[in-house]
């Protein structure tokens, strides 16, 4: 497998999952501004959308979209217990959480990175993050991790999204869960 990544991007979650799963893989760094790989080749020939992560499989098939890649990685190493068994209610809960992170957190953080977004849009994005993270924290109840008592691919994805707070000036101190605050 080959993981196409960019430093600081959401591809870090896939990188964490590959390490946690103990799978063999290669990495290929993508310059997201130029859409080129380190060897100068055109990343758009590999991933037409131009973003990361992308995971090239041994048979040359290409997976895109972080939540799908994370689940694929988890399924390749079931002994690592990074995801519940496929078809179980716990797996559907994980999928729900991955989609929540992607649509409610990841996309909202994207506004804060957008140099063309006005301050009004950024204020609204911060308010949305406040509400969504409060909901996430409440839904966790007494659980130590996002979807239970064990580290999962959802924790890796959430970790990456929340790590962006330091770059965009979003304050996490109002939250108390270690997984949310990074404490």
Instruction: Give 45-72 pLDDT, tens digit per residue.
Output: 999 999 999 999 999 999 999 999 999 9
Q: Give the pair of three-digit tokens for residue 5.
A: 């990544």
| % residues pLDDT > 90 (the chain) | 92
Question: How open is the CA angle 69-115-162, to the nearest 5 degrees?
Answer: 40
The helix (H) or strand (E) run that includes residue 145 is none
pLDDT digits (tens, 9 = 90+) for 145-164: 999 889 999 999 999 999 99
Contact 85, 91 (CB under 8 A): yes
End-to-end Cα separation, the chain, in angstroms: 33
DSSP H helical ranges for the chain: 11-21, 66-76, 89-100, 107-113, 119-140, 153-163, 165-168, 178-181
Question: Taking 80 as the threshold, does the pLDDT of residue 98 lie above it?
Answer: yes
d(CA 54, CA 72): 12
């Amino acid at each position: 497998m080959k993981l196409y990544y960019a430093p600081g991007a959401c591809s870090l979650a896939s990188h964490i999952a590959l390490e946690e799963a103990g799978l063999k893989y290669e990495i290929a760094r993508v310059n997201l501004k130029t859409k080129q790989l380190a060897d100068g080749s055109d990343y758009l020939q590999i991933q037409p959308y131009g973003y990361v992560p992308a995971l090239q499989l041994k048979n040359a098939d290409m997976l895109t979209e972080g939540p799908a890649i994370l689940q694929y990685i988890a399924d390749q190493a079931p002994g690592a217990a990074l995801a519940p068994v496929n078809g179980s209610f716990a797996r559907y809960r994980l999928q729900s959480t991955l989609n929540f992170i992607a649509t409610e957190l990841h996309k909202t953080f994207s506004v804060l990175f957008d140099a063309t977004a006005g301050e009004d849009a950024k204020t609204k994005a911060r308010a949305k993050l406040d509400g969504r993270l409060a909901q996430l924290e409440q839904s966790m109840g007494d659980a130590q991790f996002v979807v239970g008592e064990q580290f999962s691919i959802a924790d890796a994805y959430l970790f990456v999204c929340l790590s962006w707070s330091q770059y965009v000036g979003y304050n996490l101190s109002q939250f108390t869960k270690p997984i949310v605050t990074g404490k």
